[in-house]
Amino acid sequence: MTRIAAPLLFAGAILGLSAAWVGAQDSPESLLPPGFDEPRAPTRPSPAPPPAAALPRSNPGGPRVSATSSPVVQPLPAETSASVAIPPVAAAGSGSRLPSLEMLEKLSPDQLEDVLGLKPKFDIPPNARRSAMAAGVIDEQEGGMAVGSLAAQDATLVRAAIAGNNGMLVSRWGHILLRRALASRLAPPLGMDPADFAALRAALLVRMGEAEAARALVQDIDSGDYTSALTAAALDAYVATADFTGICPAVATHGAAQGDSGRDPRWQIAQIICSGFQGDGAGALTRLDRALYRGVMPRIDMLLAQKYVGAAGKAQRAVTIEWDGVDEITPWRYGLAIAVGVEPPARLMDQAGPRYSYIAATAPMLGLASRAAAADRAAGAGILSSAAMVDLYSQLYSDDEITGDWSDRAGKLRDAYLAASARSRLAAMRDLWGSDDPLLRYSRQVLTAYAAARLPIDDTLQDDAGDIIVSMLSAGLDANAVRWAGLAKSGSEGWALLAVADPDARGEVGRSAIDDFTKSDASPDKRKSAFLLAGLAGLGRVSSSTVGNVAGDLKIDLAGQTRWTGIIDRAAAVDNPELVALLAGLGMQGQTWDKMTPRFLYHIVAALRRVGLEPEARMIAAEAVARG
């Protein structure tokens, strides 16, 4: 185990990110509490993770991966038989209070099992239980981070880096990198319970809009090993995927304790839902009626729960959902609504925020048009890959019932691939890109990435070379993009993109070419020029003298230090890619690129490059230039 000689002095305070810092990162002195100054290297060699179901590596920008399972040979009964411990009955006068007969009659079957101690912690045999010490869904051999990446790191820093991230990142490629870091099979850091570590990661994945990945992560740990934090994170993950029966195993083992606490009424309703789907539909509806009368949750939530339970068994009931008087949408409300085939009114969704679009983009129960509208934001954020977008539009094109704008757009995508001439294919792409909304425009460039890669290198397309290159790089097609270098004039946006994205770049970029780009840069405060300089400097593709001179002209400071820049630099110095990825995600918070500073971009790109994540560093730098 590699360790840094200097002692670690952790203050123990968890990171607190204020809204002011999110809005202006020029003064991020509160980013980390004092003492976070010595990250540790990952343990090597990495310990082998325990046998468990693994998920294959997905397309880097893909929305999710599907589970595969290994066959299990059922052992003979004699090999697995174990005595079942029967809890002793407290004797009278022992100090323990037994419930009265009247109290027992009022308890549900689940509550009765808890009171009498009849419910086992585990509902699976010992030989089938899994270790929680390397929980995750992407193995190192499948593209994940090394399992021992954080094993030597103090838990306080890791907790601060994950819990302090609000999940909204300015960068599509930063989102993709952070998702991979969180979903990797990882041993917990020093002093942290493995279930709590999984809970931190799952909660951030939910905040990022990666509900499927979060659900897969919590499913990699046996419900009997859930802590209170993981139980709460699991509920959020299942709610975000509208999977209200998937949480039932956790409800069976932990639901009573969570519901009895009174802090989260969702657990009380989840218990009732699960009982309804276990055969007690009529009883579940009766209990929901009582909960509605007591005001356990708002009326709209209780009606949605009744409609959901009404689909179970023979206890069907007609429930009318009316949104009059409802003034906000919540994850629970939205998940239940789409689960029963009801879409909330547009007036609520318009003010709901982008996370609901991220959920909708991968929700199979929604209509194609609704998913496509959500995908127009999810792709730009990093939720969906270009391949997933093309698949969605292909379904739109083949569905005769889809008409209007979405049918037209699907036809335009087909033209982008199959039109007779290159000019016609490019014209179809430009029609798709045509939007005043920067995120929507970028999502459509993700959509057309592979069509752009099929275009011939044609002098007549030179004026559009920049947009064509942006489209290809949005899906990581850097080798295809480099083919356009001959048509990217020095100082043009296409040239700037390739200057940072080219995987085989040789030599340093001269100041004159950067000055040419700066002169034509119409972005606010020359932001694209500042990001270009930061990206080139982080990749080591420009001399220090040029950095100093151009930075002076642009009135920016790449060399200044904050606590955050210091710690991500030291995490890179000890070659810890996982910690660098977590810290990079912390520094990329925000919904638009005006929340990113050139200084932060420089340190992110430099740190990623130093720990062997240069492809991600190049794509983030190119995205900054394209979207700045």
Whether 511 contacts 549, CB under 8 Å: yes
> Average pLDDT of the chain?
83
What is the predicted pLDDT for the residue at 256?
A: 58
Whether 535 contacts 500, CB under 8 Å: yes
Q: Cα angle vertex 467, ends 547, 361, to 5°?
A: 105
Is the pLDDT score of 13 beyond 80?
Answer: no
Describe the crossing of helices 109-116 and 265-277 by its angle, rounded to 10 degrees. Answer: 110
Split at pLDDT 50, 70, 90, the class of 80 is very low
What is the predicted pLDDT for the residue at 75?
A: 36
What is the predicted pLDDT for the residue at 83?
A: 36
| 155 or 105, greater pLDDT | 155
Is the pLDDT score of 58 beyond 50?
Answer: no
What is the predicted pLDDT for the residue at 91?
A: 39
Please state, in angstroms and rounded to a whole number, the distance separating the CA atoms of residues 28 and 337: 40
Split at pLDDT 50, 70, 90, the class of 226 is confident
Is the pLDDT score of 281 beyond 90?
Answer: no
Whether 197 contacts 228, CB under 8 Å: no
Is the pLDDT score of 37 beyond 80?
Answer: no
Q: Could you tell me which of 205, 196, 208 has the C-alpha nearest to residue 232?
A: 196
pTM for this predicted structure: 0.82
CB within 8 A of 527, min separation 6: which ones?
A: 593, 594, 628
Split at pLDDT 50, 70, 90, the class of 315 is low
Q: Could you tell me which of 113, 115, 151, 137 has the C-alpha nearest to residue 57?
A: 137
Is the pLDDT score of 21 beyond 60?
Answer: no
Please state, in angstroms and rounded to a whole number, the distance separating the CA atoms of residues 527 and 518: 9
Give Cα 144 distance to the centre of its chain: 15
What is the predicted pLDDT for the residue at 253?
A: 77
Q: Cα angle vertex 76, ends 73, 80, to 5°?
A: 95
What is the predicted pLDDT for the residue at 164?
A: 94
The average pLDDT across 372-382 equals 95
Q: Cα angle vertex 584, ends 578, 588, to 5°?
A: 150
The average pLDDT across 287-316 equals 87
What is the predicted pLDDT for the residue at 97?
A: 57
What is the predicted pLDDT for the residue at 605?
A: 98
Residue type, 556: I
Is the pLDDT score of 24 beyond 50?
Answer: no
Q: 213 in helix, strand or coil?
A: helix
Residue-wise DSSP of 342-376: -PPPHHHHTTS-HHHHHHHHT-TTS-HHHHHHHHH
pLDDT in tens, 167-193: 999 999 999 999 999 999 999 999 899
Beta-carbon count within 10 A of 448 CB: 31
What is the predicted pLDDT for the residue at 282?
A: 87
Q: Could you tell me which of 595, 561, 565, 592 has the C-alpha nearest to residue 580?
A: 565
What is the predicted pLDDT for the residue at 290?
A: 93
Split at pLDDT 50, 70, 90, the class of 39 is confident
Please state, in angstroms and rounded to a whole number, the distance separating the CA atoms of residues 213 and 136: 9
Number of residues that make up the chain: 628
Rg (CA), the chain: 27
What is the predicted pLDDT for the residue at 254?
A: 73
Half-sphere exposure of 474 (CA within 13 A, CB side): 32
The average pLDDT across 487-510 equals 94
